[in-house]
Amino acid sequence: MLTLRWLTWSVALLLIAGHLAPKPALRYALPLLLLTAAALTILTLVLPYLSHPRSLLAVGALDIAVGLGAVALSDGWSSPFILYSYSTLLLPFLLLPLRHRLLLALLFALLDVATLVLGDLSLGALFQQAGAMLIVRLSLPFGLALLIRAESPVFLPARSLGDKRLVRKIEGAARRFHRIAMLAGPTSAGREATALVEVQAAADRGERELQGLLALLRPADAYETDMLAHMRELVASFHDRSGIEASFKLEGLPRQLPPAVEATLLAVSSEALTNIEKHAHAAEAEILLRYEASDVVLTIRDNGVGLMDGPVDRPGCHGLRALQYRVAELNGQLEVFEGNPGGVVVRVTVPLEVFAA
């Protein structure tokens, strides 16, 4: 986009340098070239650091104002900055859905008419002398609006935007609870030790509740479709974070799974590894993903202390039980049981014939 913008500016420079533009257009040629070059330079430097669509749209609106202003001040009809002014529509059109692109095109066309009136003083004379060219010129913004496809629409559905904010808040709270739980160990004696144990227990409960809620709120498309790559990244991150030896094994012929199945398997893997890190006192952990003829089976096992307080009350299992609802929606089954000879095994089985077309 920026390359095209600079190309249209270069066209204006060549028209002015070659005296190909009408004399009235050359009156403010140098100041306008400097103004538009400065605007493009700022856009080139700032654009890589802007990520929020609304910020990008605000910058695009200022850019359009500069482009139309250059046309108005350099003989609106035969201005050498006409192509430059059209190129200012590229950034907003890349951010807006079709309806808003068409509205912006209409506004741009009306403002362009205003620049023509300012430059040529008589709109009626323009229609008489160049009616067909005027229609083509005013229809070009609409053509661009139809041709350009939005990459990051600004106007997201209110519910979707709210859900994303909620998920971000819950993720931040879960990280804080996790930090408290990791630091608040019973290192002192007497009353202080008891208080620290209570803090740790409260943090554990809060984190489990937030992780369960987050797993239910996170949309199925929050993960990319390459689940195997994400599994490997998850295991590698777990090893780097905890120092526990971890491996990912694959059995059967991998195939594309429905997004809801992939998201759920990744959520269970993440929760199980978190539990191992915090509660298992394990030296090793393993994730096994097995593709069967009619099912996909995910097994996470460790060689830690096992289910010390039983499968129902054991600290760390609450988040997994919260995910049982999500697994049940897939007609699947989530099991947590003692391993042999020790440790804990988390197993998820999802029947794939339910998703067959």
In order, the DSSP letters of 269-291 are HHHHHHHIIIII--SEEEEEEEE
pLDDT attached to residue 308: 57
- Nearest CA to 331 out of 227, 261, 255, 256 is that of 261
78 CB contacts (<8 Å, ≥6 apart)?
21, 22, 25
Report yes or no: 41 and 5 within 8 Å, Cβ to Cβ: no
- The count of C-alpha atoms lying within 13 angstroms of the C-alpha of 295, restricted to the half-sphere facing its C-beta, is 13
In sequence order, the β-bridge partners of residue 350 are 296
Rounded CA-CA distance 152/348 in Å is: 36
Dihedral (CA of 78, 84, 87, 91) sign: negative
Q: Which residues of 144-179 are buried (b: 16+ CB within 10 A; e: fewer)?
A: bbeebebeeebeeeeeeeeeeeebeebeebbeebbe
Residue 48 DSSP code: G
In sequence order, the β-bridge partners of residue 205 are none
Rounded CA-CA distance 190/198 in Å is: 13
Rounded CA-CA distance 203/197 in Å is: 10
Per residue of the chain (357 residues), what is the pLDDT tens digit? Answer: 788 888 888 888 888 787 776 655 556 778 888 888 998 899 888 877 775 667 778 888 898 898 888 887 776 667 788 888 889 988 888 878 888 888 988 998 888 877 776 655 555 555 555 567 777 788 888 888 888 876 544 444 444 444 555 666 666 666 666 666 655 555 555 556 666 666 666 666 666 566 656 655 555 444 444 788 889 988 988 988 889 999 999 998 888 888 888 888 998 999 899 889 888 889 999 999 999 888 999 999 999 888 754 443 444 456 777 788 888 888 899 998 888 878 899 999 999 875 554
Q: Is 69 helix (H, G, I), strand (E, B) or coil?
A: helix
Axis crossing angle, helix 98-120 with helix 53-72, rounded to the nearest 10: 20
Token pair in block for residue 149:
């496809």
- Nearest CA to 36 out of 11, 2, 3, 66 is that of 66
Say if pTM beats, i.e. exceeds, 0.75: no
